[in-house]
Amino acid sequence: MSFSVTEPSARTKWFAGLLVVGYAIVTLIPLLWIIATGFKSPADSIAYPPVVVFEPTLEGYVNLFTDRTRATEGMLEEAGPPTTWYEEIVRERGTVITGPSRYGERFLNSVIIGFGSTALCMLLGTMAAYAFSRFRVPLKDDLLFFILSTRMMPPIAVAIPIFLMFRSLGLNDTHLGMILLYTAVNLSLSVWLLKGFIDEIPIEYEEAALIDGYTRFQAFYKVVLPQAATGIASTAIFCLIFAWNEYAFAVLLTSGNAQTAPPFIPTIIGVAGKDWPAVAAGATIFLVPVMVFTILLRKHLLRGITFGAVRK
Amino acid sequence: MTNHAIESAAKQTPDGLARRIRGLSDRAIAWIFVAPTIILLLAVNIFPLIWTIRLSFTNFRVNRPNKDVEWVGLRNYERILSDSDIWNTMQATAHFLIWTIVLQVLIGFTLAYLINKKFKGNDLWTTIIVFPMMLSPAVVGNFWTFLYQPQIGLFNYAIAFFTGADPASFSMIGDVHLAPWAIVIADTWMWTPFVMLICLAGLRSIPDSIYEAAECDRASKWRQFWTITIPMALPFLMLAVLFRGIENFKMFDLVVQLTGGGPGNTTTLTSIDLKREAFERWRTGYSSAYAVILFVTVFGLASIYVKALNKVKER
């Protein structure tokens, strides 16, 4: 290794590493606590002092996906002995399953709205970004700033007219309405990020393709799109995460039909009081996919969170 | 996959139409590509904004659609600006904004500085630290209420463990003095990584040669830090503050789940107050005026700040 005056000494590195790892562990504790609470029994979840070693149970997950009621003698006789493992868990608490809970539906809504808005946003965003990157668009800078400024608006501020507008169009509490809304919110991010990625592809590639007899459209989808694939993929994940996490519009504009998981998870309650293991189970299922995405995104993370302003 | 989909779509396009598309000028293509985005944004962002501005001059109420709508001029604005509750809300927002930014900048910059020492495995730990900011604020906020429970909450237990206080003796979200700090702590936990990432990019953008030159001139490490590191990382730091400032001015999801604005009105940030006026008291005209004032404030402050940022960059 070559000697350099700017290379920190081994002791400095060790010390810096120690502090950073210490911070990382402290910051991870709340997340690990969510995951662990999902596998605790109700008694363990509210034990004092908090328990770290416990007997794991799937009760939280069973409670998350089912509606239950306190069983009377007659109901138990009628239902007979439990036939499945999850019925057994429920019976131990003196309750019977009355049906599936709404969590599955809400989760599915999150998936439909998240993926739907991401797909639409990528389609519109790639086209607009390509045009802004390659063509002389009149008032280009003004339009780009306008697109960015739509992100500054507090969601609550535009929620009233959107509510009125959606009501008159019959879009309130529908998947389509939420997909259009999230697409509009995400467009600023996708246009700015994708423009940055497309700017980096040398224009000579397309010129060569055009000389070879490709049309503009062919040059766009045969040359530019494959080159921008990683950029498009990471932008798509950012849009998906945003739509996945969004709460303000979801809580104001949806109630039954198209409600997503974030407004639903905090409303989960058990037969007697707040059922924290079930809440934690719901949160775990909802949060873990995002953690996986974060690992996939790590190279483009910085660019994504700053709308392409910082590129490393 | 996208490529394939577009290709097959192109093949299905009838010949006549395809020839017409191929014959389009670049200018026409540019418009066709940009128009859908602009139209959608006009419909979902600008149109509602104009509608909000219009409503702000009326006494319209969504829950009474049959009542006559009266034009009240600037009365809504006068009432908001002379309302002392709104100023309390603004104070709560300012407390939240200032302390989250101060803490996040201090911790975030320190972390970035340490990570930039390039110890072994720094990439892995950076990714781990980033997790909280990618998660759903509402879901996380809801779970923090569990951590903040007196007696059984992990946060109270940890504080009690280190200070010897009784973990049941204080309630982070039930106490009027502690609640404003409860939301600051949760937000700092969540968003410090954001500031850290941007600062790290700033630190990595400083070329080694500058430090080498300073070393030749026998400048102390302390002096190098204040005359090279800080000024060169400043534009990045200011960018991070801009993003956090705008986001926390709009803050709704995390805090509404954590405290719901209580106890009393101690954590009622402007977005939460606005939501109450608009969707609980249904004073649509009044809350529209409120929304306009907020938007003008954010936009005004942000543009002044961006001007300052550009000046720093030019230096």
Euclidean distance between CA atoms B124 and B128, whole angstroms: 6
3-state DSSP percent of chain B in helix, strand and coil, to 5: 75, 0, 25
**Are B176 and B137 part of one and the same domain?**
yes
Q: Are residues B205 and B297 in the same domain?
A: yes
Q: Tell me the pLDDT tens digit for each residue of A135-179.
A: 888 888 888 888 888 877 788 888 888 988 998 899 989 999 999
Q: What is the pLDDT of residue B12?
A: 59
Final residue in a domain of this structure, among A47, A68, A101: A101
Instruction: Tokens 């949060």: give the residue.
Output: A287
> How far is A310 from A164, CA to CA, in rounded Å?
38
Q: What pLDDT is stored for residue A284 in this prediction?
A: 93
B198 and A187 within 8 Å at the Cβ level: the answer is: no
Query: Given CB atoms, is B308 within the 8 Å cutoff of chain A?
Result: no
- With beta carbons less than 8 A apart as the criterion, state whether B243 and A309 touch: no
Residue A188 within a domain = yes
Query: Which of A236, A127, A129 has its CA nearest to residue A186?
Result: A236
Residue A128 to residue B37, Cβ atoms within 8 A = yes
Cβ-defined contact of B37 to A153 (cutoff 8 Å): no
Q: Classify residue A134: in a domain, yes or no.
A: yes
Count of structural domains within chain B: 2
State the total domains in chain A.
2
The tokens for B59 are: 């006494």
Does residue A130 register a pLDDT over 90? yes
A308 three-state secondary structure: coil
* A298 interface with B at CB cutoff 8 Å: yes
B267 lies in the same domain as B170: yes
Place of tokens 């969510």: A34
Distance in angstroms (rounded) separating the CA atoms of residues B87 and A219: 57
Interface of A with B in 201-260 (CB under 8 A): 215-217, 221-222, 225-226, 229, 232, 241, 244-245, 247-248, 251-252
Q: Does B137 touch chain A (CB under 8 A)?
A: yes
Identify the CA nearest to B200 among candidates B101, B313, B114: B114
Same domain, A165 and A261: yes
- DSSP secondary structure, A104-160, as one string: HHHHHHHHHHHHHHHHHHHHHHHHHHHHHHHS--TTHHHHHHHHHHTTTS-HHHHHH
Which of B 249-288 lie inside 8 A of A, CB atoms? 249-250, 252-253, 257, 270-271, 274-275, 278-279, 284, 287-288
Does A84 contact chain B (CB < 8 Å)? no
Name residues whose C-beta falls within 8 Å of residue B286's C-beta, 6 or more positions apart in sequence. B59, B76, B79, B80, B277
Distance, in Å, from the CA atom of A310 to the CA atom of B313, rounded to the nearest integer, reads: 13
Give me the average pLDDT of each 10-residue run along chain B (315 residues).
57 55 73 91 89 90 79 89 88 95 96 91 90 91 91 89 86 90 95 93 89 89 90 91 91 92 88 90 90 88 87 80
In a domain, B184, yes or no: yes
**Maximum CA extent, chain A:** 83
- In angstroms, the CA B100 to CA B87 distance is 20
Residue whose tokens read 């702590």: B185
Tell me if B68 is assigned to some domain.
Answer: no
**What pLDDT is attached to residue B29?**
84
Angle at A154 between CA B292 and CA B90, to 5 degrees: 70
Q: Is A144 on the interface with B (CB under 8 A)?
A: no
A234 with A175, same domain: the answer is yes
The DSSP H or E segment spanning B151 is: none
A145/B contact by beta carbon, under 8 A: no
Distance from CA of A280 to the nearest CA of B (A): 8
- In this complex, the residue of B24, B192, B243 whose CB is nearest that of residue A306 is B243
Angstrom CA distances, B64 to A165, A168, B50, B284, stand at 16, 15, 21, 10
Q: Within a domain: residue A274?
A: no
Tokens standing for residue B57: 């001059």
Cα separation values, A151 from A134, A184, B117, Å: 24, 10, 35
- Clarify whether residues B117 and B263 are in a common domain: yes
Quick check: is A190 in a domain? Answer: yes
> Can you read off the two tokens belonging to residue A220?
């766009």
Answer yes or no: do B114 and A16 touch at CB < 8 A: yes
Q: What is the pLDDT of residue A111?
A: 94
Question: Is the residue at A303 inside a domain?
Answer: no
Whether A20 and B288 lie within 8 Å, measured CB to CB: no
**A141 and A221 share one domain:** yes
- SS3 call for A95: strand
* Gap from A93 CA to chain B (nearest CA, Å): 22
Which residues in chain A have their CB less than 8 angstroms from residue B287's CB? 160
Same domain? A78 vs A214: no
Q: How many angstroms separate the CA atoms of A72 and A50, rounded?
A: 33
* More confident call, A231 vs B3: A231
- Residue with the bigger pLDDT between B206 and A2: it is B206
Residue in chain A closest to B25 (alpha carbons) equals A216
> Does A136 contact chain B (CB < 8 Å)?
yes
In this structure, are B38 and B171 located in the same domain? no
Residue B66 lies in a domain: no
Q: Which residues on chain A are in Cβ contact (under 8 Å) with B313?
A: none
**Contact indicator for A226, B3 with CB cutoff of 8 Å:** yes
Chain B residue whose CA is closest to A11: B119
Instruction: Provide DSSP, A15-49.
Output: HHHHHHHHHHHHHHHHHHHHHHHHTS-HHHHT-SS
Same domain, B138 and B20: no
A119 and A83 share one domain: no
Q: Are A90 and A71 in contact (CB under 8 A)?
A: no
Cross-chain residue pair B37–A137, CB shorter than 8 Å: no
pLDDT at B5: 58
Q: Do A49 and A159 reside in the same domain of the chain? A: no
pLDDT number for residue B10 = 57
A259 plus A114 within the same structural domain: yes
| Pairwise CA distance, residues B171 & B156, whole Å | 8
Q: Which among A130, A156, A185 is the nearest to B33, CB-wise?
A: A130
Q: Is position A298 within any domain? A: no
B70 found inside a domain: no
CA-based nearest distance A250→chain B, Å: 11
Nearest neighbour of A310 by CB, restricted to B33, B198, B271: B198
Q: Are residues A97 and A108 in the same domain?
A: no
Closest CA to A32 of A280, A250, A295: A280
pLDDT at A1: 42
Both A86 and A124 in one domain: the answer is no
| Rounded to 5°, angle at Cα B58 from B55 and B64 | 90
Structure confidence by residue, pLDDT tens digits, A49-74? 888 888 899 989 998 998 888 877 77
What local confidence, expressed as pLDDT, does residue B166 receive? 85
- Distance between CA B136 and CA B64 in Å, rounded? 35
Q: Which residue of A has its CA nearest to B251?
A: A154
Q: Are residues B274 and B195 in the same domain?
A: yes
Q: Final residue of a domain: which of A39, A71, A101?
A: A101
Query: What is the CATH number for A255?
Result: 1.10.3720.10
> What tokens were used for A74?
């007659």
Q: Verify that B160 and B239 share a domain, yes or no.
A: yes
Asked if A160 lies within 8 A of B287 by C-beta distance, the reply is yes
- On whether residue B246 sits in a domain, the answer given is yes
Residue A171, domain extent: 104-267
pLDDT of amino acid A149: 80
Residue B1 and residue A225 in contact, taking contact as beta carbons nearer than 8 Å: no
Within a domain: B19: yes
| Same domain (yes/no): A55, A196 | no
Q: Is residue A210, in this structure, part of any structural domain at all?
A: yes
Residue type, B186: A
Question: A108 — contact with chain B (CB < 8 Å)?
Answer: no
CATH number, domain of B92, equals 1.10.3720.10
CB of B170 less than 8 A from some CB of A? no
Check residues B59 and A271 and name the one with the higher pLDDT: B59
Helix (H, G, I), strand (E, B), or coil: what is residue B302? Answer: helix
Q: Does A13 touch chain B (CB under 8 A)?
A: yes
Residues A75 and A125 in one domain: no
Q: Which domain holds residue B152?
A: 79-314
Do A24 and B128 contact (CB within 8 A), yes or no? yes
Above 0.85 for ipTM, yes or no? yes
Do B132 and B240 lie in one domain? The reply is yes
Please check whether residue A302 is in contact with residue B197, taking contact to mean a CB–CB distance below 8 angstroms.
Answer: yes
Q: Rounded to an integer, what is the distance from CA A133 to the centroid of its chain? A: 28
Q: How far is A99 from chain B (nearest CA, A)?
A: 25
Specify the 3-state DSSP secondary structure of B71: strand
Per the model's pLDDT, the better-predicted residue between A110 and B265 turns out to be A110
C-alpha A249/C-alpha A240 separation (Å) is: 16
Higher-confidence residue of B146 and A82: namely B146
Residue with tokens 């730091």: B237
Whether the predicted pLDDT of A24 surpasses 90: yes
Asked if residue A82 and residue A110 are part of one domain, the reply reads no
Enumerate residues 6+ apart whose C-beta is below 8 A from A186. A117, A118, A121, A125, A239, A242, A243
Name B293's Cβ contacts closer than 8 Å, sequence gap at least 6.
Answer: B77, B80, B81
Residue A307 belongs to some domain of the structure: no
Q: Is residue A31 predicted with pLDDT exceeding 70?
A: yes
B211 touches chain A (CB under 8 A): yes
Tell me if B141 is assigned to some domain: yes
CB < 8 Å to A293, chain B: 134
For testing contact with chain A, the best of B27, B47, B140, B143 (most A CBs within 10 A): B143
